[in-house]
Structure formats: C-alpha cells, structure tokens
Amino acid sequence: MNCTPMTNESLYRYASQVLPGGVSAAARAGKAVGGPFYMARGEGSRLHDIEGHEYIDLHTSHGAALLGHGHPQIKEAIAKSLEMGMLCAYETEAHGAVAKRLVDLLPGADMIRFTATGTETTYYAVKLAREFTGRHKVLKFEGHFHGFNDYLQFNFWPTAENRYPKVSQETPGAPPGTEKHVIVLPFNDLDLLEDTLRQQGDEIAAVILEPINYNSGGIRPLPGFLEALRRLTSEKNIILIFDEILSGFRTGPGCLQEYLGVTPDLFCIGKALGGGMPISAFGGKKEIMEHVAPLGKVMHSGTYNAPLPCILAVNTFLEVITEPAFYDNLLKHCDLLYGGMGEIIQRLGIKCWIQATGARFNMLFGLEKEPINYAESSRRDVATTVRFFDSARKHGIFFFDGWHHGISAAHTQDDIQKALEGIEAAMGEIA
Ligand SMILES: Cc1ncc(COP(=O)(O)O)c(C=O)c1O
C-alpha cells in the first residue's frame, strides 16, 4: 500500500477510492467535522493518529473500550485463544462458563445467547418476542437507537418534520409496509403509553427501549415511568426488552436492570462486554429463551456466533469488572470529570447541560435543564457542539462527533486533570 505522505487528508483521499466515504462505518465519516480521523494505535486511555498526534480518548470506541485500548488481560485472553487454534464455530468449555457468569450477574438473565453486533442482537430479541407472543407490532420510543435492522430503524434522530407522530425510517432499503409493524411514542409520556397499550396492547409483541437513553442525550426515565411500563407490559403479556447494548456495565456489573431496579423479560448487551472484541448477547427469562432453536423454533445460528477469542475476552472482561475496586475507581474518576466540567461551564458562563449516569455522559450545548425526551434534547445547539469537539481535539482531547462520550477504567486521575484542562481551553475558545 503506497499512500505517502501519511496525512489524514491523503489517507482519506486514498481510502475514499475503495471504501464508500473513505470509511468502514458511516458514523466514522465525521461529516460535521469535515471527515474521518485515521488512527495509528490506541493504548489505555490514549489514541494516536496517523499524523503523530496523541489524544486523551473521551469517545472510547462508542463505549466499547470500557477497559481502555489494549487492556493487558484482554490481550492475554486473546493470546490464549490463539494457542487453542482461534476456534470458531465450535463450543468449548468456556462458552457455558461465560454464560453462567452473566446469568449470575444480571437480574433478568436465566439464559444467554451470544451474537456479534448490537444491530443483530436487537433483531433476534424482537423476532423471539414475536414468536413467543404470536403478535407482530413493536413499540419503541423516539430518540432510542437499536441498530439499523429493518424492524427497528425508525425515529432514532428524526428531523423536526419527521418526528412523532410520524413513523419515519432512518434509512431506505426496508420493504414497504415495515413501518406498519412499529409504534413510536415519545419517551416518558405515561398517559400516551397507557392509552396506546389499552388500545393496541393485544397486537404488541414487545416494547423495546434504552432504559437510559444515552443515544439522544442521556435521558433518564422519569420517576415511576419504568415501573409503570413494567406493570403495564406484564398485564398485557407484552415482552419488555431492555436494549443495554450501550448502557450495559456503565453503572455496575448488573447493568441498568440492576441499577434501576426493574427487570425486563429480555435484554440485549454488547459493546463493553467484549473488552474491545466484537461480541454481544441477548438473554432473559427461561420460558422465552427456550423458544430459541434448537429447543424452540426461532432459528439463531451463525458461523461467527461466539468465536473463542471473543468468548475468552468476555470471560476476562467479567473477571476485571468484578474485581472489588473496579467500579469505585471508575465512578470516582467519572465524578471528577463531570464535577470539573460543571465547574468550568459555570465559571465561563457557557450554556451546556452535562447529563451523565455512570461511565457515559452527554454534553447538551444550549440546554439548561435535563431533557425528558428527544423533542427536548434535539434542541441542543449542534453548531456549537461541533465547534467544541473540533477545538477539544486541537487541545488533545478526542471527542467523537456524536451524542455520547465516556471514560474507561484506564483513565487515571492525571488523565482526567489533563482532559479538564483541554476541555477548559476548548470551552474558552467557543465562549
Ligand atoms: C442502544 C444500542 N442498541 C444497538 C446498537 C447497535 O449496536 P452495533 O453498533 O454493535 O450494531 C447500539 C450502537 O450504538 C446502541 O447504542
């Protein structure tokens, strides 16, 4: 490959000839900031780009790098799998053991199935709910992201004219009529939810949601909303699915289902789970999970289901996060960061609401209070947000051009201090 000189710009031009948009995932194109960033390597809390710049990473791989980049124990787990021939498409002793660890940690887990991506995981969870209930419709909330499968890719981040009550596809390509199987509601509107379930409950297979909507501003359920949702779905025999692909392991090893004290029927986890390796899972109550083949009729099979390097990485991830001081340290550093940002914002007189739960946070420029739904959070000032990210990167702090950010367990107190200095400098520039 000859692409000298290796600048971001030259690599972008080179890659654009063979990768649509120069990237392998659309989100990496960084449209708002003028193009993708090409990295040379990651190490712990740091990223190094191909032009030799070093950044403190506050993106952490869309949240996948909760342990930081290249965690030594994850590397050892992968090395072990190499010794075992990188087995793929075989079950090993480790598969059941890792599933058992998850069953022990997650309140909603009687059984687990491993998958690769989040998009695929929510697809299977919905499919399973349909077969179990014999119903077709799925209710989701506006602003909640569940990956780009045809069943669920509606009203993630609609423009004002496409918002609720419209049901709007996020991307073309699904067969016409797919939208008839989806009901979209604004989050946190209990009256509307009750009305909808009263009128259409008998047709609804599942309600799926991000228990905390990190993908559109870190929006938390209003007091009582989740409990009411749990009660109403149980009354109507509707499967309640927590999509914890992103929220999983941000607050503790029991995920949000433990943190919020509400147990779903099915859940999806991913991202952080693999310590940087591509693995996700769905799980839930035994009587539902028993409908997965070969016990039941819902086929779930695949060559790359749970390859050994990923399974051993999950095993190690779970070992690391259940070490006694893991969450104390991580959450202490989170508090340091969020407190420091709040202090900077106040001192510089910048309108920016920091919405944070556990190891993930949102910066909502232009907002002065916690949003309760996407209609409110989407009023954030995107132009200022992008200017801030751009400026922060010039000060050595890597923010991804998106909604949510976070630190990893590899971020030290010194990293947080440096991050705050960069954030302050960037805030000063945009003030
Ligand atoms: C809540 C949620 N569900 C599903 C997905 C899709 O996951 P993946 O990117 O692994 O397909 C994401 C990804 O950001 C997510 O945040």
The answer to the question of residue 10 being in a domain is no
Give 352 Cα–ligand 1 centroid separation in angstroms. 26
Q: Under a CB-based contact definition with an 8 Å cutoff, are residues 284 and 267 in contact?
A: yes
Q: What is the pLDDT along the chain (431 residues), one digit of tens a residue?
A: 554 568 999 999 999 999 999 999 999 998 766 789 999 999 999 999 999 999 999 999 999 999 999 999 999 999 999 999 999 999 999 999 999 999 999 999 999 999 999 999 999 999 999 999 999 999 999 999 999 999 999 999 999 999 999 999 999 999 999 999 999 999 999 999 999 999 999 999 999 999 999 999 999 999 999 999 999 999 999 999 999 999 999 999 999 999 999 999 999 999 999 999 999 999 999 999 999 999 999 999 999 999 999 999 999 999 999 999 999 999 999 999 999 999 999 999 999 999 999 999 999 999 999 999 999 999 999 999 999 999 999 999 999 989 999 999 999 999 999 999 999 999 999 98
Q: Under a CB-based contact definition with an 8 Å cutoff, are residues 184 and 164 in contact?
A: yes
CB-ligand 1 contact for 62 (6 Å cutoff): yes
Is the Cα torsion angle 104, 107, 111, 116 positive or negative in sign?
negative
One domain for residues 306 and 340: no
One domain for residues 303 and 348: no
Q: Which atom of ligand 1 is nearest to the CA of 122?
A: 4
Q: Report the C-alpha gap between 359 and 192 in whole angstroms.
A: 31
Q: Under a CB-based contact definition with an 8 Å cutoff, are residues 160 and 257 in contact?
A: no
CB-ligand 1 contact for 115 (6 Å cutoff): no
Q: Which atom of ligand 1 is nearest to the CA of 270?
A: 10
The answer to the question of residue 106 being in a domain is yes
Would you give the DSSP letter of residue 241? E
One domain for residues 215 and 300: yes
Q: Residue 36's Cα: distance from chain center in Å?
A: 20
Closest to 30 measured CA to CA, from 4, 45, 49, 2: 49
- Kindly give, in sequence order, each residue whose CB lies less than 8 Å from that of residue 97, ignoring residues fewer than 6 positions away: 315
Of all protein residues, the one whose alpha carbon is nearest to atom 16 of ligand 1 is 246
pTM, two decimal places:
0.98
Query: Which pLDDT score, from 0 to 100, does residue 5 have?
Result: 62
Q: Residue 406's Cα: distance from chain center in Å?
A: 11
Tell me the best of 114, 119, 153 to mutate to test the pocket of ligand 1, counting ligand atoms within 8 Å of each CB and taking the most: 119
Q: Which one of 299, 321, 343 terminates a domain?
A: 321
CB-ligand 1 contact for 276 (6 Å cutoff): no
The answer to the question of residue 249 being in a domain is yes
**CATH code of the domain covering residue 119:** 3.40.640.10
The answer to the question of residue 297 being in a domain is yes
Is the Cα torsion angle 362, 368, 372, 374 positive or negative in sign?
negative
Give 267 Cα–ligand 1 centroid separation in angstroms. 13
**CATH code of the domain covering residue 411:** 3.90.1150.10
Give 146 Cα–ligand 1 centroid separation in angstroms. 6
Give 421 Cα–ligand 1 centroid separation in angstroms. 31
One domain for residues 125 and 198: yes
Q: Under a CB-based contact definition with an 8 Å cutoff, are residues 87 and 307 in contact?
A: yes
Q: Under a CB-based contact definition with an 8 Å cutoff, are residues 274 and 313 in contact?
A: yes
Q: Which atom of ligand 1 is nearest to the CA of 243?
A: 1
Q: Which one of 321, 350, 384 terminates a domain?
A: 321
CB-ligand 1 contact for 341 (6 Å cutoff): no
- Tokens for 6, please give them: 């290796």
Q: Under a CB-based contact definition with an 8 Å cutoff, are residues 183 and 140 in contact?
A: yes
My answer on whether omega of the bond before 186 falls inside 30° of 0, hence cis, is no
One domain for residues 161 and 294: yes
Q: Report the C-alpha gap between 396 and 416 in whole angstroms.
A: 12
- Tokens for 11, please give them: 């690599």
Give 214 Cα–ligand 1 centroid separation in angstroms. 11
Residue 286 lies in domain: 72-321
The answer to the question of residue 45 being in a domain is no
CB-ligand 1 contact for 146 (6 Å cutoff): yes
Closest to 248 measured CA to CA, from 285, 221, 275: 275
Q: Which atom of ligand 1 is nearest to the CA of 116?
A: 10
Question: What is the Cα Rg of the chain in Å?
Answer: 21
- Kindly give, in sequence order, each residue whose CB lies less than 8 Å from that of residue 330, ignoring residues fewer than 6 positions away: 359, 407, 409
CB-ligand 1 contact for 248 (6 Å cutoff): no
One domain for residues 111 and 121: yes
Query: Which pLDDT score, from 0 to 100, does residue 6 have?
Result: 85
One domain for residues 90 and 160: yes
The answer to the question of residue 279 being in a domain is yes
Angle at 134 between CA 291 and CA 202, to 5 degrees: 135
Give 145 Cα–ligand 1 centroid separation in angstroms. 7
One domain for residues 308 and 334: no
Tell me the best of 60, 150, 243, 245 to mutate to test the pocket of ligand 1, counting ligand atoms within 8 Å of each CB and taking the most: 245
- Kindly give, in sequence order, each residue whose CB lies less than 8 Å from that of residue 122, ignoring residues fewer than 6 positions away: 146, 147, 149, 151, 152, 208, 241, 243, 245, 268, 282
One domain for residues 228 and 89: yes
Of all protein residues, the one whose alpha carbon is nearest to atom 7 of ligand 1 is 118
Give 204 Cα–ligand 1 centroid separation in angstroms. 23
114 burial class (0-12, 13-18, 19+ CB within 10 angstroms)? Answer: buried
Q: At what angle do helices 72-83 and 308-321 cross, to 10 degrees?
A: 150
Tally of domains within the chain: 2
Give 298 Cα–ligand 1 centroid separation in angstroms. 22
Q: Which atom of ligand 1 is nearest to the CA of 120?
A: 11
Q: Under a CB-based contact definition with an 8 Å cutoff, are residues 287 and 370 in contact?
A: no
Give 121 Cα–ligand 1 centroid separation in angstroms. 9
Q: Which one of 297, 321, 345 terminates a domain?
A: 321
Closest to 246 measured CA to CA, from 382, 353, 395, 405: 405
What does the pLDDT look like over 219-265, one tens digit per residue?
999 999 999 999 999 999 999 999 999 999 999 999 999 999 999 99
One domain for residues 314 and 350: no
Q: Under a CB-based contact definition with an 8 Å cutoff, are residues 282 and 103 in contact?
A: no
Q: Report the C-alpha gap between 108 and 122 in whole angstroms.
A: 16
- Tokens for 313, please give them: 């990485």
The answer to the question of residue 8 being in a domain is no
User: Per DSSP, what are the bridge partners of residue 243?
Assistant: 268
The answer to the question of residue 35 being in a domain is no
Of all protein residues, the one whose alpha carbon is nearest to atom 8 of ligand 1 is 118
One domain for residues 308 and 366: no
One domain for residues 257 and 368: no
